[in-house]
A and B are shown apart, each in its own frame.
Chain A
Amino acid sequence: MMRASLRQTALLLALALLPALISAAVQWRALGEAVSPGDEITWEATQALGGRVLWVDARTRAQYDQGHIEGAVLLNEDQWVDLMEGFLDAWEEELQVVVYCDGGGCDASRSVSRRLREEMGLENVRILKGGWKKNSP
Chain B
Amino acid sequence: MEKKLPIVWLLLRLALGGLFIWAGLVKVADAPAFTREIQHYDILPWPWLAAAAALYLPWVEILCGLGLQWPRLRLGSLLILGGLMVVFLGAITSAWARGLDITCGCFGKDSASILTDFPLLLTQDLALLAAATLLWWVEKRRVASQAAGSGA
Indicate whether A78 reaches chain B with its CB closer than 8 angstroms: yes
Count class of interface residues, chain B: 35 or more
Q: Which of B31, B47, B67, B75 interacts with A4 by CB under 8 Å?
A: B75
Are A60 and B114 within 8 A (Cβ)? yes
Which residues of chain B have C-beta atoms less than 8 A from A76's C-beta?
Answer: 114
Q: Which of A36, A107, A111 interacts with B47 by CB under 8 Å?
A: A36
Q: Smallest CB-CB separation from A115: which chain B residue?
A: B112
Q: Smallest CB-CB separation from B42: which chain A residue?
A: A105
Known A1-B144, A8-B77: A34·B51 in contact at CB below 8 Å: yes
Are A59 and B64 within 8 A (Cβ)? no
Are A104 and B77 within 8 A (Cβ)? no
Count class of interface residues, chain A: 35 or more
Known A15-B63, A23-B28, A23-B55: A35·B47 in contact at CB below 8 Å: yes
Interface hits, B85-122 → A, CB 8 Å? 95, 99-103, 110, 112, 114-115
Known A1-B140, A4-B75: A111·B101 in contact at CB below 8 Å: no
Which residues of chain B have C-beta atoms less than 8 A from A133's C-beta?
Answer: 99
Consensus secondary structure, chain A interface: helix
Are A108 and B101 within 8 A (Cβ)? yes
Q: Which of A25-33, A42-50, A65-73, A87-95 contacts B (4 or more CB under 8 A)?
A: A25-33
Q: Which of B32, B72, B112 interacts with A107 by CB under 8 Å?
A: B112
Q: Which of A9, A17, A106 interacts with B102 by CB under 8 Å?
A: A106
Indicate whether B135 reaches chain A with its CB closer than 8 angstroms: no
Q: Which of A15, A21, A23 interacts with B31 by CB under 8 Å?
A: A23
Q: Which residues of B are in contact with A by a Cβ distance under 8 Å?
A: 28, 31-33, 35-36, 39-42, 47-48, 50-51, 54-56, 59-60, 62-64, 67, 72-77, 79-80, 95, 99-103, 110, 112, 114-115, 140, 143-144, 147
A-B contact pairs, 28 of them (CB 8 A): A1-B140, A1-B143, A4-B75, A5-B79, A6-B79, A8-B77, A12-B64, A13-B60, A16-B56, A17-B56, A17-B59, A19-B59, A23-B28, A23-B31, A27-B31, A33-B32, A34-B33, A34-B36, A35-B47, A35-B50, A77-B114, A102-B101, A103-B42, A105-B41, A107-B40, A107-B103, A107-B110, A110-B36
Q: Which residues of A are in contact with B by a Cβ distance under 8 Å?
A: 1, 4-13, 15-17, 19-21, 23-24, 27, 30-31, 33-36, 58-60, 76-78, 101-108, 110-111, 133
